Amino acid sequence: MRLRHHAVAALGALALVITLPTSASAAEGQFRYTYETDEGYEAVGFLNDPPSGECISLPGADSDALPPAYAPKNLTDATATVFLGADCEGDVYYTLRPGGGASERLKVRSVVFS
C-alpha cells in the first residue's frame, strides 16, 4: 500500500515538472544607448533584462527616418550583437561583450543578445 502511494506521489511530481512553463531566457542587466529625440535633444534609452535570441529594434532609433543611436553600453551578462540596420538586418554589425561598451562613433538601430 505504501509503495502505491509513493508511486502516485512520484508520478504527480513528474507531471508537475513536465507541465510547468519554463521561463524564457533573458540577459540579466541593462543595455544602454544614446539617441537624438525629435526635438534634437540627446536622450538615453535602455533595455532592462532583454530577452535572448530575439531581435530588438531600439526605440528612438528604429527606422531610417530617425538618426541611428550611438555609444551602446552592454551592462548585461550576455553578449550583445548590435546592428546598424533595423530588425537586425544588414552586414554592418558589432559584438559587445558583457560589461562592454563602444564610443559614440558606433551607430546602432537594433540588437540581439546571446
Whichever domain contains 109, its CATH number is 2.60.20.10
* pLDDT, position 6: 44
CB-based burial label for 98 (10 Å; 0-12, 13-18, 19+): middle
Q: Does 65 reside within a domain?
A: yes
3 inside domain? no
- Quick check: is 6 in a domain? no
pLDDT class for 21, splitting at 50, 70, 90?
very low
Whether residue 15 lies inside any domain: the answer is: no
In a domain, 98, yes or no: yes
- Averaged pLDDT score across all residues of the chain: 85
State the residue range of the domain holding 53.
29-113
Q: What is the DSSP letter of 88?
A: G
Q: pLDDT-based confidence at 33, cuts 50/70/90?
A: very high
Task: Report pLDDT digits (tens) over 42-72.
Answer: 999 999 999 999 999 999 999 888 999 999 9
In a domain, 23, yes or no: no
Task: Report pTM.
Answer: 0.77
Residue 10 lies in a domain: no
pLDDT at 4: 47
- Domain count for the chain, please give it: 1
In a domain, 2, yes or no: no
Neighbour tally for 101: CB within 10 Å: 14
User: And the C-alpha cell for 90?
Assistant: 544588414
pLDDT reading at 16 higher than 50: no
